[in-house]
A and B are shown apart, each in its own frame.
Chain A
Amino acid sequence: MPYPSASVYFALLKPRVMSLVIFTALVGLLLAPGTIHPVLGFTAILCIALGAGASGALNMWYDADIDKVMTRTQKRPIPAGEIDRGSVLGFGIFLSIASVTMMALLINWTAAGLLAFTIFFYAVVYSMWLKRSTAQNIVIGGAAGAFPPVIGWAAVTGTMPMEAWVLFAIIFFWTPPHFWALSLFMSDDYQRVGIPMLPVVAGETSTRRHILAYSILLAPLGVLPYVMGFAGVAYGAISGVLGLVFLWGAIKVWRGTGDVAARSLFKFSILYLFLLFATLAVEKLIMGMI
């Protein structure tokens, strides 16, 4: 086993997932009423990022056996033979404790409690339990990815009001159609390692129906920040249009049979979430300047 370099440890943090976590947490932090000192805001986001990295490392530690079989994950540090599993477990536990402790001591206990719960949810409830036992793994496991804006909000106010949970709900209902669209054209990989993804267990037709059902729920949910009054008209218009485009994409997946519609919905879903949260942030920043 070669001596692991710093870049190997960085790869264990799942930097691409982490960037989405940082982004959504930052939006939660910006939208929360009141102010937070920039240094404290930066520290809160750093803690959330480290917590996300810890979850990623613990996930790679647990899933090392299936990662080496799946094409998409074969180049991860453990299957690539760049680091041993024990070191990854130690790294994940250390980062978990460090991120939660820092959040508790430097920011507040509400945010720290939520961060600890999120790491536990992703590493234990999703990775170790649901992922290999139910076809609804993505639905429940997706909650872990939906927590960052709530944590960002709690870092500023120390509370978790309804507005923060609306942001949670948007990501929560976005996750299943996003991942099921991916699994429609990657199901062979999951089938090979026995992960009960919906297309593998229930079949493609059922998956396409599920994608449509969640998209029907997601489209109006996306507009809710405007309806509830914590986002402006620009957000209302953009989220409405994006929701309709998402829905149209889901209808095409539902009616279709090939991969094309699923691939295009998968790509659009990333843009959808990014634009929704970016609009919230930009609107809030502009309103703050006026």
Chain B
Amino acid sequence: MTQDPTQMHKERKSRNYALAGVLVFFVVLIAVVTMVKIGGAS
């Protein structure tokens, strides 16, 4: 089973967007959790 290059680029692009979204979400989550923890400690 092979995929044509256009289709492959489309799949790769959508996966990269998903990955970028996950990374941004992760960074925001860590930042918010840090603020919550610092707030709880003080």
Q: Which of B1-42 contact A (CB under 8 A)?
A: 1-3, 7-8, 11-12, 14-15, 17-19, 29-30, 32-33, 36, 40
- B interface footprint on A60-100 (CB within 8 Å = 1, 0 otherwise): 00000000000000000000010000000000000000000
A39 vs B12: C-alpha distance when bound (angstroms): 32
B8 touches A2 (CB 8 A): yes
A152 to B12, CA, bound (A): 36
Partner of B15, one of A5, A37, A39: A5
B33 A43 Cβ-Cβ under 8 A: yes
Q: Does A270 contact B (CB under 8 A)?
A: no
Cβ-defined contact, B3 with A2, below 8 A: yes
User: Please, what's the 1-or-0 string for A1-28, where 1 marks a CB less than 8 Å from any CB in chain B?
Assistant: 1111110010000000000000000000
Closest to B25 in A: A46
Assess whether A3 is in contact with B40, with CB atoms less than 8 Å apart: no
A5–B15 CA distance with the chains assembled, in angstroms: 6
> Chain A contacts of B17 at CB under 8 A?
6
Q: Are B1 and A40 in contact (CB under 8 A)?
A: no
Pair B32/A6 contact, Cβ less than 8 Å: no
Kindly state the separation between the CA atoms of A4 and B1 in the bound complex, as whole angstroms: 13
Residues 31-71 of A contacting B (Cβ, < 8 Å): 37, 39-40, 43, 46
Instruction: Give the interface size bracket for A toward B.
Output: 10 to 19
* A241 CB–B CB distance under 8 Å: no
Asked whether A39 lies within 8 Å of B3 as measured between CB atoms, the reply is: no
Asked if A193 is an interface residue, CB under 8 A from chain B, the answer is no
Residues of A within 8 A of B7 (CB): 2
Give the nearest-CB partner of B12 in chain A.
Answer: A3
CB of A37 within 8 A of CB of B12, answer: no
| Measured CA separation A54–B2 after assembly (Å) | 28
* A6 near B33: Cβ-Cβ < 8 Å: no
A46 to B33, CA, bound (A): 13
Are A6's CB and B36's CB within 8 A? no
Assuming the contacts A37-B40, A40-B33, A106-B33, asked whether A3 and B11 have C-beta atoms less than 8 A apart, the reply is yes
Complex Cα spacing A106 to B12, Å: 32
Quote the shortest CB–CB distance from A30 to chain B (angstroms): 19
Q: How far is the CB of B4 from chain A (nearest CB, A)?
A: 10
Q: How far is the CA of A1 from the CA of B7 in the complex (A)?
A: 13
- Nearest-neighbour CB distance to chain A for B21, whole angstroms, equals 9
Q: Which residues of A contact B1 (CB under 8 A)?
A: 1-2, 81
Seed contacts A1-B1, A39-B32, A81-B1; 20 additional CB < 8 Å A-B pairs = A2-B1, A2-B7, A2-B8, A3-B3, A3-B8, A3-B12, A3-B15, A4-B11, A5-B15, A6-B15, A6-B17, A6-B18, A6-B19, A9-B15, A37-B36, A37-B40, A39-B33, A40-B36, A43-B29, A106-B33
Q: Enumerate 23 A-B pairs (CB-CB under 8 Å) in ascending A order.
A: A2-B1, A2-B3, A2-B11, A3-B3, A3-B8, A3-B11, A3-B15, A4-B11, A5-B14, A6-B14, A6-B15, A6-B17, A6-B18, A6-B19, A9-B15, A37-B36, A37-B40, A39-B32, A39-B36, A43-B29, A43-B33, A46-B29, A81-B1
